[in-house]
Amino acid sequence: MQIAIVVYDRFTALDAVGPYEILSRLPGAETVFVAERSGPVRTDTGFLAVTADKALDEAPCPDVLVVSGGPGTVGQTENPALLNWLRAADATSTWTTSVCSGSLLLAAAGLLCDRRATSHWAVLDLLKEFGAEPTGDRVVTDGKYVTAAGVSAGLDMALTLVGRIAGDEHAQAVQLWTEYDPRPPYDAGAPHKAPAHLVEELRTGGRFSLT
Amino acid sequence: MQIAIVVYDRFTALDAVGPYEILSRLPGAETVFVAERSGPVRTDTGFLAVTADKALDEAPCPDVLVVSGGPGTVGQTENPALLNWLRAADATSTWTTSVCSGSLLLAAAGLLCDRRATSHWAVLDLLKEFGAEPTGDRVVTDGKYVTAAGVSAGLDMALTLVGRIAGDEHAQAVQLWTEYDPRPPYDAGAPHKAPAHLVEELRTGGRFSLT
Task: Look at strands A39-42 and A49-52 and give their pairing.
Answer: antiparallel
The DSSP element (H or E) to which B54 belongs, if any, is strand B54-55
Task: Indicate yes or no: CB of A163 within 8 angstroms of CB of B177.
Answer: no
CA–CA separation, B195 and B149 (whole Å):
19
Give the angle A46-B33-B85 at the CA atoms, nearest 5°: 150
Fold of A2-203: Rossmann fold (3.40.50)
Q: Determine the pLDDT at residue B133.
A: 97
Of A31, A180, A210, which to mutate for an interface test with B (greatest number of B Cβ within 10 Å)?
Answer: A180
**What's chain A's average pLDDT?**
97
Task: Look at strands A49-52 and A2-6 and give their pairing.
Answer: unpaired
Q: Determine the pLDDT at residue B141.
A: 98
The amino acid sitting at B196 is A
Q: Give the end-to-end CA distance of chain B in Å, rounded to a whole number.
A: 34
What is the dotted CATH code of the domain comprising B2-186? 3.40.50.880
CA–CA separation, B164 and B171 (whole Å):
9
Q: What is the pLDDT of residues A102-126, one digit of tens each?
A: 999 999 999 999 999 999 999 999 9
Which residues from chain B sit within 8 angstroms of residue A169, using beta carbons?
Answer: 195, 198
Q: Please, what sign has the CA dihedral across residues B29, B33, B34, B37? A: negative
Under 8 Å between Cβ of A149 and B178: no
A3 strand-pairing partners = A31, A64
Q: What is the pLDDT of residues A119-150, one digit of tens each?
A: 999 999 999 999 999 998 999 999 999 999 99
- Give the rounded distance of the alpha carbon of A124 from its chain centre: 14
- Residue A97 to residues A107, B148, B152, Cα–Cα distance (Å): 11, 30, 21
DSSP state string for chain A: -EEEEE--TTB-HHHHHHHHHHHTTSTT-EEEEEESSSEEEEBTTSS-EEEE-EEGGG----SEEEE--SGGGGGGTT-HHHHHHHHHHHHH-SEEEEETTHHHHHHHTTTTTT-EE---GGGTTHHHHTT-EE---SEEEETTEEEE-STTHHHHHHHHHHHHHH-HHHHHHHHHHTT-----SSS-SSTTTS-HHHHHHHHTTSS----
What burial letters (b/e) apply to A40-59, b meaning 16+ CB within 10 Å? bbbbbbebbbbbbbbebeeb
Interface of A with B in 37-76 (CB under 8 A): 40, 45, 47-51, 53
Q: What is the pLDDT of residues B178-209, one digit of tens each?
A: 999 999 999 999 999 999 999 999 999 999 98
Q: Is A113 a catalytic residue?
A: no
Residue A211 has pLDDT above 90, yes or no: no
Helix (H, G, I), strand (E, B) or coil at B43: strand
User: Which burial class, exposed, middle or buried, applies to B143 when counting CB atoms under 10 A from its CB (0-12, 13-18, 19+)?
Assistant: exposed
**DSSP 8-state secondary structure symbol assigned to residue B208:** -
The amino acid sitting at A4 is A
Of B127, B128, B70, nearest in space to B99 by CA: B70
Helix (H, G, I), strand (E, B) or coil at B30: strand
The amino acid sitting at B139 is V
Percent of chain A with pLDDT over 90: 98
Q: Is A178 on the interface with B (CB under 8 A)?
A: yes
Q: What is the pLDDT of residues A60-78, one digit of tens each?
A: 999 999 999 999 999 999 9
The DSSP element (H or E) to which B141 belongs, if any, is strand B139-142
Instruction: Nearest by CB to B156, from A151, A185, A199: name it.
Output: A185
Which positions of chain B have pLDDT values less than 50? none
B35 strand-pairing partners = B55
Q: Give the end-to-end CA distance of chain A in Å, rounded to a whole number.
A: 34
CA–CA separation, B133 and B126 (whole Å):
10
Of B140, B65, B133, B59, nearest in space to B97 by CA: B65
Residue A167 has pLDDT above 90, yes or no: yes
Task: Indicate yes or no: CB of B185 within 8 angstroms of CB of A163.
Answer: yes
Chain A and chain B share a number of CB contacts under 8 A equal to 240
Q: Is ipTM over 0.90?
A: yes
Percent of chain A with pLDDT over 70: 100
Of A138, A144, A143, nearest in space to A124 by CA: A138
Provide the phi-psi class of B182: left if phi over 0, else alpha when psi is between -120 and 50, else beta. beta
Which residues from chain B sit within 8 angstroms of residue A188, using beta carbons?
Answer: 172-173, 175-176
Question: How far apart are the CA of A84 and the nearest CA of chain B, in angstroms?
Answer: 25
Question: Catalytic: which of A100, A139, A149, A155?
Answer: A100
